[in-house]
Structure formats: structure tokens, C-alpha cells
Amino acid sequence: MLPSYPSLTFPNHFTIVTGLYPEHHGLVANSFYDETKQARYAISDAKAVSDGSWYSGTPLWSLAESQGMRTACLFWPGSEATIAGYQPTYYVRFDSKTEATDAVQQARIDNAVALLKLPEADRPHFITIYYSEPDHEGHSFGPDAPETRAAELKMDGMVGKLKTALDATGLPIDLVVVSDHGMVKVEGGWI
């Protein structure tokens, strides 16, 4: 995968949903200081993350909402902010500290299916779901580590469960699976 630069989670997630590079959508890192605003943005700062003034461009959920389509974002970075005048109809705040247990992962699938079972007038027609694996393992152990491979296999199983659950709804659904950035093994020192 060729990520946008910097190849970090928040900038790339916002690139995916806006089609813009970080220098155009405003999230130039997971944490940064903005001289113009005289303020700091950090993914660990709920107040900053939910402040729509940090985000430029229009994410897909805001575009859909502006056209009268209901959307849902389950842990997608930035979705808790009002951006371009809109928020998703349904959202769960992004929390990098949410433990990625099997129960939590299954709950995201169950939440998406529950939303799809709502009456047609209330049902979202665009849903994003974020899982932090194998990102966390890759950062902690490296892309070629057995821990990362185990996380990849676990997520492969979760995507299979998600696909099965979506198919069971009987609705015409396009499932798109993306990665926020790639990884390479660090070779040698910084210099």
C-alpha cells in the first residue's frame, strides 16, 4: 500500500474519506501544533478531535448527510466532529484505548447489523468501521513479527464474520476493506 504522507493513522483515515492529501484536509499528523490557531491537535485529546474547525474537506459521511442520506461511523477517526456542517446520524466516538478484544470486535459487527435492521427510513446507507489491528501489533513488534501475523489472521476472521453477518441481512451491500497505512521493517539505525 502507498499511504499518504505522513503514513500515520489519523491523516490516512481522513485521506480515505475525503480523497484529499493531509496538507489539504488539515490532519498533518496524529499530534501537531497549529501556529495560526495557537493550539495543539492530538488524537488523545477528545476536545480537539471533536472540534470540526481542525478538519478541511468533506468526508463521505458529511457529503452523504448533506444529500439526505443517513450514515454511521463506528470508531472512525474524526467522525465525532461536525465537519462541513454535518455529523454522521449514528456514531461511536473513536477511542484509541478501546481494548481490541473479541467481544469488542464482535460488538462492532453487531452494531452495524443492528443499524441495518432499522426501518428503511432510519437505516444508514453508508457505514464505516475501524479496527486497530494489526496496526497496534505492527507498531509494537514490527510488520514481520509473529504477533502481527496473529493479528492479521484474527482480523481476516473478523472480516469473514462481518461479511457473513452483512450477507444475512439480505440487503445489497458493497463491502470495501481498506488499510490506513502500510509498514516496513526498520533496518539499521536512524542515520
36 is a catalytic site residue? no
Q: Does the pLDDT at position 99 exceed 80?
A: no
pTM above 0.85, yes or no: yes
Mean pLDDT, residues 73-87 taken together: 92
Going along 4-156, which residue ranges are E strands?
31-34, 39-42, 71-74, 90-92, 126-129
Q: Does the pLDDT at position 93 exceed 80?
A: no
The neighbour count for residue 7, using CB atoms within 10 Å, is 15
H or E, element range at 146? helix 146-168
Mean pLDDT, residues 115-131 taken together: 95
Q: Does the pLDDT at position 120 exceed 80?
A: yes
Measure the CA–CA gap between 89 and 101, rounded to whole angstroms: 26
Q: Which of 9, 15, 71, 128 is catalytic?
A: 9
